[in-house]
């Protein structure tokens, strides 16, 4: 009989199972406040579903990269992990903006949307992670 810890690691190591669990969790958490109020608006529901799917993929990629970083502990993997976590932040901002639960957050000094600044930071981290040379 497997211990609870062994069962958890078995699920974490199995990427399809991890994806299904993350999908169910994200949908369960966000269905009531995000999807249900807009279920009767056909034009909005597709836009919302697009961002929900993007958020699920972002959470999955972040989870996988966190697991990879916990095994490798190198700088490249850390940069990629932080980039994927920032992708979650961006998708949450876009999702709540699409549902009109959150207005565009503008950084007043530069008059730019916060999501664009986070996107630039995310892409920079990905670029540094890809171009970084391990010694």
Residues sharing a CB contact under 8 Å with residue 75, sequence separation 6 or more, in sequence order: 129, 132
User: For the chain, which residues score pLDDT lower than 50?
Assistant: none
Q: Where are the beta strands (DSSP E) in 42-118?
A: 106-107, 112-113
Query: How many domains does the structure of the chain reveal?
Result: 1
Quickly tell me which residue has 């406040």 as its tokens: 33
Residue 66 lies in domain = 4-131
Q: Are strands 112-113 and 106-107 parallel, antiparallel or unpaired?
A: antiparallel
**pLDDT number for residue 7:** 65
What is this structure's pTM?
0.86
**Distance (Å) of CA 60 to CA 77, 108, 109:** 15, 33, 34
- Mean per-residue pLDDT over the chain, rounded: 87
**pLDDT number for residue 2:** 63
């Amino acid at each position: 009989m497997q211990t609870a810890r062994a069962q958890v690691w078995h699920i974490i190591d199995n990427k399809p199972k991890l994806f299904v669990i993350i999908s169910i969790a994200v949908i369960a958490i966000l269905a009531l406040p995000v999807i249900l109020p807009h279920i009767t608006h056909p034009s909005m529901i597709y836009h919302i579903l697009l961002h929900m799917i993007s958020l699920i993929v972002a959470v999955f990629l972040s989870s996988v990269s966190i697991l990879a970083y916990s095994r490798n502990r190198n700088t490249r993997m850390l940069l990629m992990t932080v980039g994927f976590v920032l992708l979650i932040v961006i998708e949450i901002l876009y999702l709540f903006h699409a549902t009109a639960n959150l207005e565009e957050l503008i950084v007043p000094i530069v008059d730019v949307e916060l999501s664009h600044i986070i996107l630039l930071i995310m892409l920079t981290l990905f670029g540094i992670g890809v171009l970084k040379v391990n010694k």
